[in-house]
Amino acid sequence: MPAPKMLTFDVFGTVVDWYSSIKAEGEALGESKGITGVDWGKFASSWRRRYGPSMEPIRTGERGWIKLDVLHRENLLATLEEFGVDLDEPSTEHFNRAWHRLTPWPDSPPGLARLKSKFIIATLSNGHIELIVNMAKNGNLPWDVVLGAEPTQSYKPHPTTYLRSAEIMGLTPGECMMVAAHPGDLEAAAGLGFQTAYVHRPNEFGPGRTVEAPKPNTFDYQTNSMEELATALGC
């Protein structure tokens, strides 16, 4: 297997810790607004659970492509209703943009810096350009380029998201390696010819929902952090 030229990264859960970040933003919001009785960890999980289904009408073509801020907001309004929380408009907008401020897993900034020295490092996320760039500025994530949903006008795991991302960079799928904490994302990429690296994030979904690692040799690489991946790839 020849070395890849570009590593394409899933972001939510793989590079950043959405659960802890959204929970902490919810708790801070609750405190400042005097909202009581809400388990913000459960709130974060519920908000996130609506994410996959909300992209489905776009994947099927039933709904035109729109950026993730819009879907996040629709899902936030539904989650606020579920938890009986009444939030003013500025707070709703601020909370919705918490996804622009997600905190990286501690190994992500140093690991990505090492990987960047040898490879093009790209996001191949369902996050739109503005969200990914704001998150990168906030969390010191040194991306070379934002690919994925917005540049390809599609949502993973639609084949277009992967194939057009490679094509934009003038690369074949085999010259790219998908990096993700989610087997489904890696399987979709592998099916199109991408190399694959699994990064284990056992606590992505918060306490009590520990993720089990796939069986060995399911993917080309299997590591526990971006630092380990950098070492495995000779950086």
CA angle 179, 141, 228 (to 5 degrees): 45
Locate tokens 């899902």: which residue?
75
Residue selected from 129, 192, 211, 235 as contacting a copy of itself according to rule CB under 8 A: 129
145 binds a copy of itself (CB under 8 A): yes
Residue selected from 27, 144, 187, 228 as contacting a copy of itself according to rule CB under 8 A: 144
Q: Using the minimum distance from each CB to a copy of itself, give the nearer residue, 61 or 142.
A: 142
Q: Using the minimum distance from each CB to a copy of itself, give the nearer residue, 35 or 147.
A: 147
Residues 27-66 that bind a copy of itself (CB under 8 A): none
Question: Could you report how far apart the first and last alpha carbons of the chain are, in Å?
Answer: 17
146 binds a copy of itself (CB under 8 A): yes
- Total interface residues for a copy of itself by CB under 8 A: 15
133 binds a copy of itself (CB under 8 A): yes
Of 216, 213, 147, 155, the residue nearest 185 (C-alpha)? 155
Residues 168-197 that bind a copy of itself (CB under 8 A): 168-170
151 binds a copy of itself (CB under 8 A): yes
DSSP state of 9: E
The beta-carbon contacts of 20-24 under 8 Å, at least 24 apart in sequence, are 20/103, 20/206, 21/98, 21/101, 21/102, 21/103, 22/47, 22/48, 22/98, 22/99, 22/102, 23/206
Instruction: List interacting residues with a copy of itself (CB under 8 A).
Output: 120, 129-130, 133, 136-137, 142, 144-146, 150-151, 168-170
